[in-house]
Every structure is written in structure tokens, then in C-alpha cells.
Structure 1
């Protein structure tokens, strides 16, 4: 019991960034005692389990502002580490078929099953976050690669398998990125890109390159992100399906935005809208682009204007989108609301921004997404300049 209690005290102290001496002073303060009957060495003994606080326990809990139960409860077992791509794929070239295939003959039925599983994973990503999905995503990717390498199949079926591996690489990379595993996501995207290129599917290759470009733009590699976003657009070409071209132009717009290039970003937004307007005239879009529509382009437009500190344009767009957004898509709803909170802050409306920020925090609490966590941090940082506003101060103090 004393070891559990000590670990809990150490955890709570660490979360506040307090030293052992600081905790000792706070305990004496809330206990209303003179002098220092509790000192740093006593805190150390408690945290290492050498002594049990006993009569000091209520004061420790009060100092840390937690219930006594939080200090006495058994520690939850640590979560197993997230898997990596190397845990699932062969060490050599994962897309090189085995010289002698002893596996079963793979036909269109198996390809159809794989296609359904890929689409199911994509639909799951609409309502679940990266931390929840990364394990099943990588298992599916391993199974698909194993099917391609070890099964016997015709050239046509082989290309279909490679195409679905590419699609799996895109959604699994997106999931890993959402879980905050950016290095892992890049490896997955590059595996998918290799599969798409071997399948000679330029639209899919562009989707993978654009997805990786989007990540690079968001993690401080703005130059790389912009170059890759433009390369993805070039790979897709003018004959790409309208939805695909609109999406790739949207990513170019975001890459220009993150690079601080205002006019190219706004120009790319306009070109994305024009491309989507051709949807009924061009070739049929791949099934994996089912989510690309005018609403998604409107969201990107609003995000660009928010990032460029143009709240008068961003706020109406975001309010319009959010008024009809599917509430079951919790992660996206939290993300879009976070941009609204930032835009309201930039519009000098801190009270409204707080109301929206509270909803962002509430929605993000149970979402295993590093993207939403990062957006919460950005919203709070943007509100900090309004700390003198009572509503803002109350919110910042509550999450301190």
C-alpha cells in the first residue's frame, strides 16, 4: 500500500511541476502548522515507500487538490507500448514477392474481402481516434502484405493487392499521425506510396504523398511539406478525378499557409473549389475519397483564414459548417471547434472563445488523438493574452 501511495504522490507532484520541497511547504500551509514538521526528506521517504504518511494524508491530498482516494488507489498497470511498422513487416523489402510461393491461390474474392476491410477501417477512423485504431490498422497492413508476398496470384490480382496495400498505407499512416507517431506514420506512408507506384495508380500515389505532405507541414517541416504537396498535385495531373484534384489543391493551400505564403494559399483554395465544381463532368472518384465535398473544402478555407489571422472571414465559415456537422465525429468536431475558438480570440471575443474552448476540452477528454490534444494547447495559449478577463482566467486556472 505504501509503495502505491508513494507512487501516486510522486505522480501528482510531478504533474504540477513541484519539487519535493515545494510539496512539503504546501502541506504545512494547508495543515496550518508552524515551522517545517514536514520537509523534503520526509516527502522522499513517502514517495519511495519507506514511510507511510498516515495522519498527514488528508493534508497531502488538500495540498495537491485531489481526493484522498486518488493517493491510496492501486496504480493502473502501464499500457503496452504502441506497435511499430517493423513489428509487423519482414525486415527485407516488404513488397517483394517470395521467389517460391507456397501459399494458396489468391483470386478476386480475397481481393474483395481486403477491399471491404480497408473501407471498414476508413469508416472507423470517422468516429475513433488514432490511439484506438493503430493496432488494428497495422495488423491489417501486415495481413495484406503477407497475402501479396506469400500467395499465388495473377498479374491483375497482384496489382489490385498492391492498390489496396497503398490504400491501407494511407489510412494507417493517417491513424499513426493522429496518435502522434509521426516518424512511424512517415514510414507507413512511404510503404503505401511504393505499393501505389508499383500498381501504377497515380491518383492513389498522389493521395499518399499529399497525406505525408500534410503531416510535414504540421510538424515544423514546412518547406518539405510544400514541396511534397506540389509534387503530389503534379503526379495526379490534370486528368485526375475532380474530388482528388480538389483535395490535393486543398493540401497545397494548407502547405502554403503553414509556410506563411498568403496569396498562393488563397489562390490554391480558389482552384480547389473550381476543381470540385467539375465533379459531375470528370471520371468517377475512388471510393476512398467519399468524404471530400464542399463542406470539407469550406473547413479548409476557414482553417487557412484562421491561420492567417483573418477571423472575420473564418468565423462565419466555421459557424456554418459546425451548424450541420455530424456530432458522432467527435475528433473532427473538436478540431473544427478549436479553430473557431482561435478565430474568436483573434476577433477580440474572449468570452465567446472561452465557451467554445470549454466544449473543445470536453470533447477531447476521451479522444485518443494527439491532434486534438495539440489543438487544446494552442487554444489555451491563444487565450492566455486575455487572462485578465474573468471567464478566461477561470478556464485557465481550471486546466492549469
Structure 2
């Protein structure tokens, strides 16, 4: 997935909330300047540069505030760009209580289904606030143990747990495009039980944990299909549910998946902040599999940020930890295996401009990968093909990409499809070679 698919800068978010293109915003700023008797030369390029980190001058900031109707009082003491308008997200401001979690789950279910925005909406201060609240607020699960509705049997809670396991395995094999409705339906049921059923403390804690699992899966599935804003909202709700369950390991898992979204859309430093927060929360109570997962995710973020030394330190830690036996590994860590760590290591090396080393890792992992991870297998085969192409081995690259293309016919994953599309663009200089012609014909037919 190209980093350009994500929009994280607050100015870009404010612009899109107002339905403005970069050209449109530039025109509004010029108009605001004219109304003050000042000619400004703001262009689309100016807006793009601001959205990529350049700070506009004081006069221009005043004009931008005028365009977005931001008062001087609102701006007072708040640095650029954090005073710009942002989405109204209850998951950021609802109290960190059991009741607050139920309210957020319900709101995200209602609005997340309709949210088609292809840009992220949590970054900077908003993301830091979310992470800090999760890390420092004491859960209040013990104070909310009774409802006003029917009792729930232990068998029903067990049945939901089995459905979650089945859904996780189905997502591994088929991708999230066809499963998101099922995940949301299960999450809706659990949310309703938490809000209305009479539950024991044990049942309530389990159901909050199940809500965290389901919201995390809903977030992953929506991210997998390019709906970044909705994905972040589900991840935020999942983090709250893990907090209400009193399960920091489960919250760390949520952050590990949310971090993939962040570094995939070009926000590696936010991804690293997520992982560091998770590592702090689980220190002294974690397991080797969880620690390996977090280290590997951190390595990916560091590779995206270009910090090779820190990336390889994190990879070495993940490699040392993975596979160490531990009786208390959480069931959701089933996928943290040596082939997955090798795949992530290969991806890091590819990001760091080491395609030959990346291909070695991809090849080792591919030989050990099981048949139950079709979506992941397709994704990494495409990355292997990219590594081969960067070494000018066009024939092998096209053969590997053809394998990935064959797997994509059986899954519904926009993320995987975007990766193969990116590979086809990289083939442009070689499009007249027989192997490239054959592959491109196959890609067009699918």
C-alpha cells in the first residue's frame, strides 16, 4: 500500500472535512487575503507542502483560521496545526469506564459502517491522548457487574469465543472484505449483552475481552479494504474494551495491529509510539510470543522510518523470543511463529534497500508457511517478487508475482490487491519482456 493512501496531517483532515481540494483551499485562502486587502500567492503546491510538514507563516495561519472559522480564543496557546478542526470522535472523549466503553462501541458500530474515508483521523495530539488514557487510567470492571436484562449462560459466552476463533481463521484465509459484516454482527451482539444483560464479573470481563477481539478484527478488516478512518475508530474502541476487560496484553495486540495501519500509510513514528506504549503496559506480565510480536512490529515501523540500526536490534529481539515455549501465551497469538517473523524481517530489509537479503528471508519463510494463511502468503509473495525485480531478475519476479495473483483470486483484500498493483507499475520499464507481457496479461484478466 502506498503511503499516499493515508492522510494524517491535521490540515489535510480539516480540508477534507470541509470538502475542499488542495486547489480549493488555496483559492479560499487567497480570497480571505483579498478581503483583508492583502494579496497572497497560495497555490495547490503551497497547501501540499504544509500538509507534508512545512509551517505556513503567521499571516497565512491567520487566513487559514479565517477559512475554517477558528477563533483567536481557540488558537490561543495552541501550536500549529493542532487548533484546526478535527472529526468529532466520542471514542476520544467518553469516560474510560465500563459504561463509556459500551457507549463508544455502540457509536462506532453505528458510524463506522458508514465511514468510507480513506485517510487516518487519529494522529499527533489526539493519538497521544488516546494512548496515555489507556496506559494510565485504572479499569473499573469490578464496579459494573449487574444489568437490567436477562441472564447469560456460560455456554453462550463460550459459543461467542468459538465464533471469534473461527472468524480469525477465516480472515487469515479469505481476507476481511467478505467477513466484516459478520464481525460487526458479533460485535453488535456482545455490545448489546454488555449494555443490557445481567452478568457475573467473570462473564462481563470475558465479554469485554471478546468485544476487544471483535472490534480489533473489524478494524483490521476495514483497514485491509482501505477504509482508514473507520479502521482507526474500531481500533480505538477495541483498546477501550481491552481496558474494561482489565487485559493489557489484549490491548497490546490491538495496538500491534493498529501500528500496521500507521506505518502502512506513512506514519512510522506514530506506529513506533503505539508499540512503545504497548511494551510499557505489558512489561513484567507478558509472554515471549507477545514480546516477539511487538518487537517485530516495532522493527517494521523503524524500517519505514529509515532507522536501520534500531530496526535490526528489534528484529534480533523478535527472533530470539519467537518459539520460546510458554504455557500462558494468549490464544490470539497463534500466528506469532518463526515464518511470520522471517516474513516481517524480509519486509524490513526491502524497505531498507536490501532486496537480496530480503529475498533470502522471504524464501526461508515461504518454505515453512502453512496453507491456512492465504492472504498473508499472497502479500509476501508479492514483496518477494518486488525484491527479485529490484535485483533485475524479471523472469523470477513475474513467476513469483503470478503465484500471488493466483492466490488473490480466492480472497477479498484490497490491501493485497493494492500491493500487486504497485508491483505491476514497477514492471513498466520491463513491459516488453516476454515474462512481463505474460504476467500483465494474466493480471488484466483478473
Would you call these one fold, judging by a TM-score over 0.5? yes
CA contact (8 A) 1:180 1:369 kept: no
Q: 1:225 aligns with which of 271, 276, 299?
A: 271
Q: Deviations over 1:222-280 (max 9, x none)?
A: 22122112212222214301101100111101111111211111110001112225x32
Secondary structure of the corresponding residue to residue 193 of structure 2: helix
CA root-mean-square deviation: 2.5
Q: Quick check: 1:251 aligned with 2:275?
A: no
Against the structure 1 CA distance between its residues 108 and 120, is the aligned structure 2 distance closer, same or farther, given a 3 Å change threshold? Answer: same
- Give the structure-2-normalised TM-score: 0.65
Structure 1 CA distance for aligned equivalents of residues 337 and 145 of structure 2: 44
Q: 1:326 aligns with which of 362, 365, 370?
A: 370
1:387 equivalent in structure 2:
431
Q: Quick check: 1:161 aligned with 2:185?
A: no
Q: Quick check: 1:234 aligned with 2:258?
A: no
Against the structure 1 CA distance between its residues 98 and 87, is the aligned structure 2 distance closer, same or farther, given a 3 Å change threshold? Answer: farther
The farther-off stretch of 330-339 and 383-392 is 383-392
Structure 2 CA distance for aligned equivalents of residues 273 and 307 of structure 1: 19
Structure 2 CA distance for aligned equivalents of residues 158 and 88 of structure 1: 24
2:110 equivalent in structure 1:
86
Structure 2 CA distance for aligned equivalents of residues 344 and 181 of structure 1: 30
Q: Deviations over 1:335-361 (max 9, x none)?
A: 111011001011221111111122222
Structure 2 CA distance for aligned equivalents of residues 225 and 88 of structure 1: 22
Q: Quick check: 1:200 aligned with 2:224?
A: no
Q: Deviations over 1:83-111 (max 9, x none)?
A: x721689xxxxx99999933211243332
2:337 equivalent in structure 1:
293
Q: Quick check: 1:185 aligned with 2:231?
A: yes
- Give the structure-1-normalised TM-score: 0.72
Q: 2:351 aligns with which of 285, 295, 307?
A: 307
Q: Aligned pair count?
A: 310
Structure 2 CA distance for aligned equivalents of residues 136 and 289 of structure 1: 22
1:213 equivalent in structure 2:
259
1:63 equivalent in structure 2:
none
Ranges in structure 2 where 5+ consecutive residues have no aligned partner: 1-107, 114-139
Structure 2 CA distance for aligned equivalents of residues 99 and 87 of structure 1: 28
Query: Relative contact order (C-alpha < 8 Å, sep 6+): which is higher?
Result: 2
Against the structure 1 CA distance between its residues 283 and 323, is the aligned structure 2 distance closer, same or farther, given a 3 Å change threshold? Answer: closer
Against the structure 1 CA distance between its residues 110 and 319, is the aligned structure 2 distance closer, same or farther, given a 3 Å change threshold? Answer: same
Secondary structure of the corresponding residue to residue 103 of structure 1: coil
Higher-Rg member (1/2): 1
Ranges of 4+ aligned residues in structure 1 off by more than 6 Å: 95-100
Secondary structure of the corresponding residue to residue 323 of structure 1: helix
CA contact (8 A) 1:88 1:139 kept: no
Q: Quick check: 1:134 aligned with 2:180?
A: yes
Structure 1 CA distance for aligned equivalents of residues 280 and 426 of structure 2: 36
1:343 equivalent in structure 2:
387
Ranges in structure 1 where 5+ consecutive residues have no aligned partner: 1-83, 90-94
2:312 equivalent in structure 1:
266
Structure 2 CA distance for aligned equivalents of residues 214 and 320 of structure 1: 23
Against the structure 1 CA distance between its residues 392 and 87, is the aligned structure 2 distance closer, same or farther, given a 3 Å change threshold? Answer: same
1:61 equivalent in structure 2:
none
2:88 equivalent in structure 1:
none
Q: 2:219 aligns with which of 153, 164, 173?
A: 173
1:111 equivalent in structure 2:
157
Structure 2 CA distance for aligned equivalents of residues 118 and 165 of structure 1: 10
Structure 2 CA distance for aligned equivalents of residues 394 and 108 of structure 1: 56
Structure 1 CA distance for aligned equivalents of residues 313 and 354 of structure 2: 16
Structure 1 CA distance for aligned equivalents of residues 165 and 373 of structure 2: 17
Structure 1 CA distance for aligned equivalents of residues 417 and 381 of structure 2: 13
2:148 equivalent in structure 1:
102
